[in-house]
Amino acid sequence: MNLPNKITSIRLILTFFIVIILLFPFDTLGFSSTKLFINEAVVVDVKYFISGILFILASITDFLDGYIARKYNMVTDLGKMLDAIADKILVNSVLIILAAQGIIHPIIPVIIVGRDTTVDIIKMIVGSKKQVVAASKSGKFKTIFMMVGVVLTLFNNLPFELINIKVSDVILIIATCLSIYSGIQYYQLNKKILLD
In terms of pLDDT, which residue wins out, 115 or 79?
A: 115
End-to-end C-alpha distance for the chain, whole angstroms:
36
All residues at 6 or more sequence positions from 125 whose CB lies less than 8 Å from its CB, including other chains: 190, 193, 194
10-32 confidence digits (pLDDT tens): 999 999 999 999 998 877 777 76
Please state which CATH number belongs to domain 3-195: 1.20.120.1760
pTM comes to: 0.89
Once rounded to an integer, what is the mean pLDDT over residues 28-50?
Answer: 77
Domain boundaries in the chain?
3-195
- Please confirm whether the linkage preceding 159 is cis (ω < 30° from 0): yes
Question: 3-class SS at 37?
Answer: strand
Q: Based on the number of CB atoms within 10 Å of its own CB, is 115 exposed (0-12), middle (13-18) or buried (19 or more)?
A: buried
